Structure 1
């Protein structure tokens, strides 16, 4: 989502390390890049992958996120 609240694109990305890095490289024009992850079974894997590549990664509580949605 950009600063005006518009979603520039939606994509599906495989969960392997190379696919995640390639996807994040495609977002280079959208700086700063931030991500929010829902806490789940393998959140730490995705957190580690994203934290290496982007400026800010936040962890969201699943039940509170559901209430907001």
Structure 2
């Protein structure tokens, strides 16, 4: 949640725009997904990743 809040604050401080999104290869995404699934249940990092996805989705939507 903290990462999401900081990212939104950064977007607001730059006039509403989002920073450029990093493109991840399919291989990187597969490795990350495997690592995410290996985390203990209710791991804080998993919740942060979900928040990061929401931020990326919001940035993509604002670019449209």
TM-score using structure 2 length: 0.35
Higher helix share: 2
Higher strand share: 1
TM-score using structure 1 length: 0.33
Structure of higher RCO (CA pairs closer than 8 Å, 6+ residues apart) = 2
